[in-house]
Structure 1
Amino acid sequence: MKKVTFFYIDGCPYCAQARKARAELIAENPVYAGVEFDEIEEHANPEIAEQYDYWATPSMFIDKEKLYESHFGEKYDEAKQHVREVLDRALEA
């Protein structure tokens, strides 16, 4: 199992949406609770954020591979599907 690096910004509604999706997915499938997340607030840790290739938050990586990057106007169901895909990839590794 691989650790997920999760970049977010405090107050970002899309980041809150991704967190909500993650919690809901864990409630639906408790095996997802075993996936470790390294949550990094972009503004508080610019020296870490600049080492990764992304433009928007939330963004999720395994190692340096970007698996999910939100986009403006993203709906909850879309975000949830992306978070599910990230969790599944973490479990495969």
Structure 2
Amino acid sequence: MKEIKMFVTSWCPYCQKARLFMEELYEENPNYRNLKIQIIDEELETEVANQYDYYYVPTFYLEGTKFNEGAIGKEKIKELFEAAK
């Protein structure tokens, strides 16, 4: 199983939407709950966030490679989850 890192901020509406899509996908496929996902709030974990090259949130990395930066749809998150299995 591959590791996913998700960079967010608490005030970002796109981050909140991405989390809702993730919850919907968990309901549709409970196996997705087994994925290793590290959610990093860039304002609380600046040292970690500064180690990665991105500008917009949410940003997803899969095994250290940027998968998506900025607004993301449910289908793209499903693609990420499938790639991480």
TM-score by length of 2: 0.91
Higher strand share: 2
C-alpha displacement of 1:79: 1.5
Counterpart residue number, 1:86: 80
C-alpha displacement of 1:11: 1.7
The runs of 5 or more residues in structure 1 that have no matched partner are: 72-77
Give distance in 1, aligned partners of 2:43 and 2:67. Answer: 21
C-alpha displacement of 1:63: 2.4
Offset from partner CA, 1:53-85 (integer Å, 9 cap, x none): 1110001112220111124xxxxxx51112111
- Is residue 70 from structure 1 mapped to residue 70 from structure 2 by the alignment? yes
RMSD of aligned C-alpha atoms? Answer: 1.2
Letter in 2 for 1:38: Q
TM-score by length of 1: 0.84
Give distance in 2, aligned partners of 1:62 and 1:51. Answer: 15
C-alpha displacement of 1:41: 0.4
- Answer with 61-70 or 16-25: which moved more: 61-70
Structure 1 residue runs of 4 or more that deviate by more than 4 Å after TM superposition: none
Give 3-state SS (helix, strand or coil) of 2:67's partner: strand
